[in-house]
Chain A
Amino acid sequence: MWIRKRRSIRMPAVLAALLVAGLLSAGAVQQKQTKRPGRDVRRAGQALRFEGLRSPSAPFSATDRVLLRFKPGVSADAARAVLESYGLRDVKPTLRLGFFKARVPEGLSAGQTVAMLRLNPDMDYAGPDFRTHISVTPNDPFFSPYQYNLYNHGIVLDIGPDIQPRTKADADIKARAAWDRTKGSPDVVIAILDTGVDMSHPELVNKVISTGRDFVNGDMDATDDNSHGTFVAGVAAAETDNDEGIAGVAWNCMVLPVKVMDAEGNGYYSDLIDGLTWAADNGAKVINLSLGGEEPDLALEEACRYAFEKNVVIVASSGNEGGPVAYPAAYAEYVLAVSATDYEDAWASFSNSGPEVDVAAPGVYILGPVPEWYAGPGYLPYAFGSGTSAAAPHVAGMAALLLSVKPWLIPGDLMNVIRYTADDVNAASDPGRDDLIGYGRINMERALVPYKLVNTRFILR
């Protein structure tokens, strides 16, 4: 289905400036962080096109039909008569193989019908006519044409007249297969420590659990006055399958806004430290830090350890300066450091690198929400952003999905699940863990869909 929109997505130019924003000097008592959603691109005012697919609403196995076969020697007419005598409806043969398909009698389930039919001595096979399904595809209109990061089917990213890269199929985080397993639990809260969150944005209005905490202005209203935090929150957990905008990684998980950076995208370590401990004390299971500073700091490390020991998973962007991994991402013991890959699964050269990098996630031309006031009149409140800031919330969302189905996992184990299930997308040039993408680009399917133990070998003990 093609639908025209009058408004279009605008590039948030301020985000581009953030890529090169300065960091506080090394000797400062209070050090500033710089957020880094780097390059953003403008989309000209042209019509958007999109198509949506509905996911099945019933459980996959739920069915009102059965599949049957009689033993040899029972004629088709006799078989049909027998089945209709049971009250089965719409009895029809399959094209080949001698099976019949039929709807179950009124008032009986498929299981009850099968149990009844199996008592018939002439019955060779009776089973439910299970439902097939496509992989979960949210109906958010921008999902298919723009969110290659979640599901990359090899598209041309129509970002603007002069920016139309072709994506490589499967260069994504395998979100659809993972969503078959879980769409997340509202009990799992992702704290977004950033510039705040636009809590009235359609993608987030039903996702924030409170107005959060603003450590910059010293109040309990973490409203975003920049756009960065809104973007990051949306990538991690935008409201999904709501016929609007984008899909988030963690459909049903919730967001706790914590403002630790000001309207310019700068902040102090002290606010970040307070934000970390406050989020850990106020229900966060995952903390996303799309920010960082160049300097190590004992208090910052202590704050990370505090949250880690309170069973909070901390995810941080590695930084966009093409240099060493920033802090707190560099605190390898407590924090998952995330670098960025692009729409072809190639390492994004702006990503900071080093031995602390754990994994990578898509971070180039990522579509996310921005405040309406930021987008401006005539534009939809969405923007494309590039940077490890955009990559980190993919991992935060993945961590939230994992905690939704395995709430007993401690942060260290959960971090290893994310690491070990990654795709080593640069294996051709750099096999194994490396300093650019760590263990690889995250793969949510491998982490969340059960591994099938099939027959291989056995040993006697």
Chain B
Amino acid sequence: MGQRIRRPHHAAGLVACLLALAAAGPAFSADRPAFKSGLGLEYLSHAISWDEGAGSSGFSAVLVTARQVVGFGSGLDLALSAGIALSDFDGLEFRRLPISLDYESGFATGLALGAEARATVLRSRTIEIQAVGRIVSSIGFTKTWPLEGFAVEGTAEGKPTWAQASAGPRLVVKSLGKFVPSVSVSADWLWGRFAMTETLGELSGSQNQSVKGKSVIDIALGAEYELSPRFTVEGRLGILPYSGGADAVVSFGVLYVFR
């Protein structure tokens, strides 16, 4: 009935291509700081489909991460992040277990790991065009629920993992002093898997529910503002339209600049 879910492994490949492109980018910017460290907070919301498109529900996540940005001096910035992800798969169904389960348990905790590459591909005095690639993933901690009300004792164990990748051009306006707005259009992929195992007396079963984001385009407005020579704040608001609705990504970060 539905389309077969394709794991967008090509997303990681695209990010790698952007990194390669950045390596061949324009000359080193002398005034670029070499290192920035900071904290980031991100909320993302996606409509997801599963069971080969037969089912759909919502997915949202909150990521709190520490970030390390490294400027390589040739128009290439590479950021790595790590932290905690709270992932909400409410509405996800597990129908291939002996006792069907509906996930209505709210946020599940996990590790968040991310990487982002920005490469300047075109620059003038007032604007800059960057190629941006980003991937963030969460590896959930196993969560256990007792199965109550049955004639025998039982538990369900769930572990969500997911990843989101995006890649595309970003137009940065550099003529407004400390305020640096930007607009970007990115291809966006979200995919993941929620592994659920059920044990009830002598019954047991497991199901890996693969999920896929419905939206494929991320249109975002962003801005950076230099609070002081040491501190920069940045924010981003993205809209991810899909047939029948729109998803959103909101992020906020504070960066400390090492000089």
Flag whether A419 is at the interface (Cβ < 8 A): yes
Flag whether A154 is at the interface (Cβ < 8 A): no
Residue numbers in B under 8 Å from A461 (CB-CB): 141-142
User: Cβ of B151 and Cβ of A420 under 8 Å apart?
Assistant: yes
In the bound assembly, the distance between CA atoms of A451 and B105 in angstroms comes to 12
Nearest residue (CB) in B for A447 is B99
User: Cβ of B246 and Cβ of A118 under 8 Å apart?
Assistant: yes
User: Cβ of B150 and Cβ of A458 under 8 Å apart?
Assistant: no
- Quick one: which of A447, A451, A455, A456 has the most chain B CB within 10 A? A451
User: Cβ of A453 and Cβ of B101 under 8 Å apart?
Assistant: yes
Instruction: Indicate whether A416 sits within 8 Å of B203 (C-beta atoms), given known contacts A450-B95, A453-B103.
Output: yes
In the bound assembly, the distance between CA atoms of A111 and B245 in angstroms comes to 8
User: Cβ of B245 and Cβ of A118 under 8 Å apart?
Assistant: yes
Q: Mark B128-156, 1 if CB is under 8 A from A, else 0.
A: 00000000000001111111011110101
| Contact partner, A446, options B109, B150, B201, B246, Cβ 8 Å | B150
User: Cβ of B244 and Cβ of A413 under 8 Å apart?
Assistant: no
Flag whether A86 is at the interface (Cβ < 8 A): no
User: Cβ of B151 and Cβ of A439 under 8 Å apart?
Assistant: yes
User: Cβ of B98 and Cβ of A112 under 8 Å apart?
Assistant: no
In the bound assembly, the distance between CA atoms of A164 and B95 in angstroms comes to 43
| Contact partner, A419, options B101, B151, B245, Cβ 8 Å | B151
User: Cβ of B101 and Cβ of A450 under 8 Å apart?
Assistant: yes
Flag whether A95 is at the interface (Cβ < 8 A): no
Residue numbers in B under 8 Å from A417 (CB-CB): 98-99, 203
Q: Mark B20-58, 1 if CB is under 8 A from A, else 0.
A: 000000000000000000000000000000000000000
In the bound assembly, the distance between CA atoms of A460 and B143 in angstroms comes to 8
Residue numbers in B under 8 Å from A452 (CB-CB): 101-102, 104
Within A113-136, the residues touching B (CB, 8 Å) are: 114-115, 118-119
Flag whether A440 is at the interface (Cβ < 8 A): yes
Residue numbers in A under 8 Å from B108 (CB-CB): 458
Flag whether A71 is at the interface (Cβ < 8 A): no
Within A416-461, the residues touching B (CB, 8 Å) are: 416-417, 419-422, 424, 432-433, 439-440, 446-461
Residue numbers in B under 8 Å from A118 (CB-CB): 245-246
Flag whether A406 is at the interface (Cβ < 8 A): yes
User: Cβ of B106 and Cβ of A455 under 8 Å apart?
Assistant: yes
Instruction: Indicate whether A458 sits within 8 Å of B151 (C-beta atoms), given known contacts A416-B201, A420-B200.
Output: no
User: Cβ of A416 and Cβ of B141 under 8 Å apart?
Assistant: no
Flag whether A409 is at the interface (Cβ < 8 A): yes
Residue numbers in B under 8 Å from A119 (CB-CB): 246
Residue numbers in A under 8 Å from B106 (CB-CB): 455
Residue numbers in B under 8 Å from A446 (CB-CB): 149-150
Instruction: Indicate whether A458 sits within 8 Å of B144 (C-beta atoms), given known contacts A408-B96, A416-B98, A421-B99.
Output: yes
Interface size class of A (residues with CB under 8 A): 35 or more
Residue numbers in B under 8 Å from A421 (CB-CB): 99, 150-151
Residue numbers in B under 8 Å from A458 (CB-CB): 108-109, 141-144
User: Cβ of B150 and Cβ of A416 under 8 Å apart?
Assistant: no
Flag whether B71 is at the interface (Cβ < 8 A): no
Please report the total number of B residues contacting A with Cβ < 8 Å. 37
Q: Mark B79-123, 1 if CB is under 8 A from A, else 0.
A: 000000000000001111011111111101100000000000000
User: Cβ of B145 and Cβ of A456 under 8 Å apart?
Assistant: yes
Residue numbers in B under 8 Å from A413 (CB-CB): 98, 203, 205
Least distance between B97 CB and chain A CB atoms (Å): 9
Least distance between B49 CB and chain A CB atoms (Å): 14
Instruction: Indicate whether A424 sits within 8 Å of B151 (C-beta atoms), given known contacts A447-B99, A453-B102, A454-B105.
Output: yes
Residue numbers in B under 8 Å from A406 (CB-CB): 95-96, 98
Flag whether B158 is at the interface (Cβ < 8 A): yes
Instruction: Indicate whether A433 sits within 8 Å of B151 (C-beta atoms), given known contacts A413-B203, A420-B201, A455-B105.
Output: yes
User: Cβ of B144 and Cβ of A451 under 8 Å apart?
Assistant: no
Nearest residue (CB) in B for A457 is B144
Residue numbers in A under 8 Å from B244 (CB-CB): 111-112, 115
Residue numbers in A under 8 Å from B93 (CB-CB): 450
Nearest residue (CB) in A for B143 is A458
Nearest residue (CB) in B for A181 is B100
Instruction: Indicate whether A440 sits within 8 Å of B151 (C-beta atoms), given known contacts A118-B246, A408-B96.
Output: yes
Least distance between B246 CB and chain A CB atoms (Å): 7
Residue numbers in B under 8 Å from A439 (CB-CB): 151
In the bound assembly, the distance between CA atoms of A411 and B203 in angstroms comes to 12
Residue numbers in A under 8 Å from B201 (CB-CB): 416, 419-420
Nearest residue (CB) in A for B108 is A458
Residue numbers in B under 8 Å from A115 (CB-CB): 244-246
Nearest residue (CB) in A for B149 is A446
Least distance between A214 CB and chain B CB atoms (Å): 37
User: Cβ of A422 and Cβ of B151 under 8 Å apart?
Assistant: yes
Within A77-136, the residues touching B (CB, 8 Å) are: 111-112, 114-115, 118-119
List 5 A–B pairs whose Cβ atoms lie within 8 Å, in order of A's numbering. Answer: A409-B98, A421-B150, A455-B105, A459-B143, A461-B142
Interface contacts beyond A420-B200, A450-B101, A454-B105: sample of 4 additional A-B pairs, CB < 8 Å, sorted by A: A451-B102, A452-B101, A458-B108, A458-B142
Query: Could you list which residues of chain A lie within 8 angstroms of chain B, going by C-beta atoms?
Result: 111-112, 114-115, 118-119, 405-406, 408-409, 413, 416-417, 419-422, 424, 432-433, 439-440, 446-461
Q: Top 8 closest A-B pairs, CB basis?
A: A450-B100, A458-B143, A439-B151, A450-B102, A461-B142, A416-B203, A455-B105, A420-B151
